Structures are given as C-alpha cells and as structure tokens.
Amino acid sequence: MAVFQVKCYGPGIDKSAPLYSKAPQEFTVDTSEAGDAPLDVKVTPPTGPAREPDEIKQVGDGVYQVKYTPEDEGELRICNR
C-alpha cells in the first residue's frame, strides 16, 4: 500500500516563532507526493468560524504558497481537506 503525503512548512505555521494578529503570514503546502486532488485549505481562528486563506498560489508542480492574515491573537488551526 502506498503512503501519500502532504507537507506544510514555513514561517506562517512555525510554532517556535510568534505570530502577530493582523500581520500577513504565509506558508508552503507541498502536495507533489499526494496524487491528484484539489487543494482545499481552511484557517480556523481561536474564536469564530473557519475561513478561506487570503490567497493560494501554485508555485511549482504540486507546490502552493498560502497567504492568510490572522484577525485575533491565539492558536490558529490550518486544515487541508
């Protein structure tokens, strides 16, 4: 059985560096080993509903740059469905 992976990395999801609310953030999603499927990313703030990122731009074969702006302080959850 093959295992397919989606990798996410970058400053916008790095737990070791603090993020500031209302400051634009970005991270990379690498789906090159995950097969064919549309990329669906949601950003869930500490309070309130999940929302779409500000921008998702394909920068390579199966590699995307995701940009979002946090509206509140606190831990965010980033989901790929």
Domain assignment of residue 28, given as a range? 5-80
Domain count, the chain: 1
User: What distance in Å separates the CA atoms of residue 61 and residue 38, rounded to the nearest whole number?
Assistant: 13
According to the model, what pLDDT value does residue 3 have? 64
According to the model, what pLDDT value does residue 34 have? 86
Q: Binning pLDDT at 50, 70 and 90, where does residue 77 land?
A: confident
Side-chain half-sphere of 5: how many Cα atoms within 13 Å?
Answer: 3
49-59: b or e for each residue (b if 16 or more CB lie within 10 Å)?
Answer: eeeebeeeeee
pLDDT digits (tens, 9 = 90+) for 62-76: 999 999 998 877 777
Give the closest residue to 57 by CA, choosing from 21, 22, 20, 27. 27
Q: Which of the 8 DSSP states describes residue 17? A: S
Over residues 41-66, the mean pLDDT reads 91
CATH number of the domain enclosing 72: 2.60.40.10
